[in-house]
Structure 1
Amino acid sequence: MLSIGPPRLLAGLDRVARLDRVAHLTVHGSPPRLRADELVELAANIDLRGKGGAGFPFARKVRAVADSARRRGGRCVVVVNGSEGEPSCLKDTALLRHAPHLVLDGAALCAQALGAEEVWVGVTRVDVERSVRAAVAERGPQPPRPHVTRLPERFVTGEGTALVNGIAHGRALPAGRRVRSSESGLGGLPTLLSNTETYAQIAVAARLGALEYRSVGLPGEPGTVLLTVGGTRVVETPSGVPLPYVLKVCGTDPGQGVLVGGYHGGWLAPRAARTALVSRESLADAGAGLGAGAVLPLPASTCPAGEAARVARWMARESAGQCGPCFAGLPGLADDLDRVVRGGGERALADVAARMDAVTGRGACGHPDGTVRFVTSALTVFAGHFRAHALGGPCGLPVSGVLPLGEEEARSPGSPRTGGRSDGGRADTERLVVDWTLCRGHGLCADIAPGVLRLGPDGYPERAVSHVPGRLRQDALRAVRRCPALALRIQE
């Protein structure tokens, strides 16, 4: 982690790896208490926007929850979205692992202002869960004592309704319809739902006051921003800093282009990247968006078309599997992109365009549209490259995997596996178990792990218990994590 200028969110982390409660109070001091109207005024004065991707004004969200709670007898809930399911983003993970009390301060400040009876923190990583639980213990019994829950590590878990459903029922799936958490969120109560960095920012702003908070950054976008550069480096920078300078500090450059906003974001061509600032307005003018703060430069040594197709395949596998555009449309789009990369001609390019038209605007959540946005942007910025592939075959550049996909790398159909054991030496003693009370016959498991289980004529798995060979363990784990109904588990 590094900081351009004096750090705020990352303050103190140059001296210790993690700020426990004592170190946190030493660095930041005790948090103030605010009334609901004071909280709204502060968030509006600094123009705080949600840092999870949508950029919704935080003041409007707080006001909506307060109004809903008032109409419903004063009850409400605060939820922290720490489920960073995209491998290109690490900023929220960094905060929860290294400065968890700053996030919990922000959540507690909001809960006290709104009179919320509960605070929940949803995470997906074991190390993050461990850090947050330790922080909760360090804070003692002061109310409201946060509850921490770990959810499946999938891309769609971070969608608001999926997170709320996961906390409430253990099934982190999008609601499939527009639901305002400010009106009906966790337990049907008005819920203030925002991501980790947003709560950390409001905790900093409450201590500094609006005037001091606005002393850095742009007048219209004050304060600092957390970025994840290259999928590995977390950087805190004031808004308005030139994007090329951030890349230079991280030891890189725009290369063939820069993906901003993650895998639901957009690509900047090198020329646009060299003039862009770290700001919502500047990036929007360039045709991209800050989103969740992921910045991914593409070096000249890798194939843009192959990298884009690889991410599209992974995004298809991250589907919740609840609707046709996700269940069939995204895998079809990945197949069409693979055909383009392999030299499928004008027909393959036309099929990609048709598939994107068929998917757009029809999903149960924003995942299909976000994936199409990524592909559309790649086809635009790397148009010549895709066309050369379609008409002439491979470009000679390798697909080096510079766009991170986490521990489970997406493979195109038919691509070879690496040699050697894939189970880390684990004996073949595990079983894949189906919970028939949850299974809904989506069939994704058989597509993901065909060597482990098969579907019967009714579309459901043939067996309740299937042997898992060590070499197929990763496929079985992938099937467990991708099951839309969370009906699978592995046991010895």
Structure 2
Amino acid sequence: MISIDVRPVGPPRLTAGLERGDRLDWGAHRRLHPDPRPLTAEQLIALATEGRLHGRGGAAFPFARKARAVVDSAVKRRKRTVVVVNGTEGEPGSLKDKVLLCHAPHLILDGAVLAATALGAREIVVAVTDATAAASVRLAITERDLDSRARVVVLAERFITGEGGALVRGINGRRPIPPGRKVRAATRGVDGLPTLLSNAETFAQLAVLAGRGPRDYGRIGTPDEPGTVLLTITGSARFPAVVETPAGAPLAHLLDLCGARAGEGVLVGGYHGAWLSGETATRTRMSRAGLAESGGTLGAGIVMPLGRGTCPLGECARVARYLAAESAGQCGPCRLGLPDVAGAFAALAAGRDGAAAQDAIRRAVRMAVGRGACGHPDGTARFVLSALEVFADDVAAHVARGGCGRPVLGVLPAETEAQLRLEVDWSRCDGHGLCAGILRGTVRMDEYNYPVIPDEPIPARLEADARRAVAMCPELALRLVPRTPHEARRRQSGR
């Protein structure tokens, strides 16, 4: 099971029965949630339209429009359809979908079965990256005798795995990375069929909407955003939790519920979201409209207050490096632009050539935005630029004094699965710079034209490049060494 508290604000809906942390089996689920009556495709679209149901995975696309596109494509092409539940949740700091998958899988399946019946779908596919979630959903499928209609697919846990195109590729047995050109799942998805793809919370919300009806569903929330929102509140919170709250609740109240303060900044929407200053966060309401008004985004429902004890720029530099490593590496903005962003941000955080580093960050961002094969470069740019704005005082301190005097505590999760790190034999190194050219953004050259090697392990995606850098070093000064168990434990504990 997922080890995080579940805290409802007001009467729980999606999280009903989860207060003890148990998994709801088929019988317990049915005692809490009514069995939604079957709908036709037109009735499903009308229900989602009246309930103003939007996707809860980040893009917030209207569910009714997505369902309509699938129906139209199926009719036009005379094909069966597929329903896909996106439960991958590869972004660090997000646990809301895993909580539902592990503790309330039948609520998700209620929504998926409702949609599959309405659309005449060939099958339901639940895509996950977590072994516990996979086991919970498989058991739920068996409990309700859906083995012939539904299956679970387990994919590698990567930041980009949950992108729609990457997810479809993964389900189809290919490498789960965004395709080079945009192909909508509603047109050609799993096995080339019209596919209704939404995240786990969206299908759970659909089940609640169908069970309650639009009028009762909209008794809480806002007129434009009825119902509840699931949030994962972590960061510097003393009591991290998955919180179910009516849309439009004050962010300050939700932070207080989890033992956190807005402090100097709050990240909303995750690593493709944006930073809000403490002052802005205290007057922000948690809805798509409220966050947009404050310059943020709801995204995948991630809220990370930073607190005052850690260096904001150091935290953001770690995340920028993580995002650069987690790209598919298949286009220029990701393969070249994001490492440049990460390298420049690391230089700023370390107090090296601060003014030049700022210029380098903005220049690299301009070269990456709007040019990627997916939205990863744009999302990373949003994160980085909002950090420069919100933490302007810290930027000034790092430029003027080389730092802000605070340690980097690792409040923001930015781990990779890397197990190797680079070492340099300084008695051999002659500063040729080939390693920095191959590992742009990871290795850089200092003012004496010698390489600066990061202490962190090499991300798995860059391991091949790191091996090439070792092989091409003219002085044989580089080597890759395994991360020791002691180092791994020290990094996990934050010491």
TM-score, length-scaled by structure 1: 0.85
CA gap 1:16/1:351 in 2 versus in 1, 3 angstroms: closer
* Matches of 1:271 and 1:300, distance apart in 2: 14
Alpha carbons 2:325, 2:461 under 8 Å: kept: no
* Matches of 2:178 and 2:416, distance apart in 1: 24
**RMSD in angstroms over aligned alpha carbons?**
2.4
Aligned counterpart in structure 2 of residue 445 of structure 1, from 459, 463, 468:
463
Aligned counterpart in structure 2 of residue 250 of structure 1, from 248, 253, 258:
258
Alpha carbons 2:79, 2:194 under 8 Å: kept: no
Matched with 1:89 is: 94
Equivalent residue letter for 2:224 = G
Aligned counterpart in structure 2 of residue 287 of structure 1, from 268, 271, 295:
295
Equivalent residue letter for 1:191 = T
Q: How does 1:228-239 map to 2 (within 5 A)?
A: 228-230=232-234, 232-239=240-247
The unaligned stretches of length 5 or more in structure 2 are 1-5, 422-441, 444-452, 473-479, 489-495
* Matches of 2:55 and 2:203, distance apart in 1: 9
Alpha carbons 2:126, 2:152 under 8 Å: kept: yes
1:417: how far off? 6.5
1:247: how far off? 0.5
**Paired positions, count:** 440
Alpha carbons 2:273, 2:383 under 8 Å: kept: yes
The unaligned stretches of length 5 or more in structure 1 are 419-441, 458-466, 476-492
Aligned counterpart in structure 2 of residue 75 of structure 1, from 56, 77, 80:
80
TM-score, length-scaled by structure 2: 0.84
Matched with 2:382 is: 373
* Matches of 2:173 and 2:487, distance apart in 1: 26
Aligned counterpart in structure 2 of residue 199 of structure 1, from 189, 203, 221:
203
1:31: how far off? 2.3
Matched with 1:125 is: 130
Q: How does 1:286-325 map to 2 (within 5 A)?
A: 286-325=294-333
Q: Could you tell which deviates more after superposition, 229-238 or 245-254? A: 229-238
* Matches of 2:316 and 2:355, distance apart in 1: 18
Q: How does 1:37-436 map to 2 (within 5 A)?
A: 37-141=42-146, 145-230=149-234, 232-343=240-351, 344-406=353-415, 408=417, 414-416=453-455
Matched with 1:432 is: none
* Matches of 2:234 and 2:53, distance apart in 1: 25
Equivalent residue letter for 1:67 = D
* Matches of 1:404 and 1:368, distance apart in 2: 19
* Matches of 1:97 and 1:386, distance apart in 2: 41
Alpha carbons 2:232, 2:303 under 8 Å: kept: yes
1:445: how far off? 2.2
* Matches of 1:360 and 1:74, distance apart in 2: 37
1:74: how far off? 4.4
1:471 matches 2:489: no
Other structure's SS at 1:157 match: coil
* Matches of 1:443 and 1:291, distance apart in 2: 25
CA gap 1:323/1:206 in 2 versus in 1, 3 angstroms: same
For residues 282-306 of structure 1, the C-alpha deviation after alignment (integer angstroms, 9 at most, x for no partner) is 1101000111000000101111111
* Matches of 1:398 and 1:456, distance apart in 2: 35
Alpha carbons 2:232, 2:301 under 8 Å: kept: yes
1:271: how far off? 1.2
Alpha carbons 1:151, 1:170 under 8 Å: kept: no
Alpha carbons 2:318, 2:414 under 8 Å: kept: no
Matched with 1:464 is: none
Other structure's SS at 1:385 match: helix
1:365: how far off? 0.9
* Matches of 2:418 and 2:295, distance apart in 1: 29
For residues 201-227 of structure 1, the C-alpha deviation after alignment (integer angstroms, 9 at most, x for no partner) is 001111101111001111111000000
Matched with 2:27 is: 22
Alpha carbons 1:74, 1:115 under 8 Å: kept: no
**Aligned-pair identity (%):** 53
Matched with 1:482 is: none
CA gap 1:308/1:141 in 2 versus in 1, 3 angstroms: closer
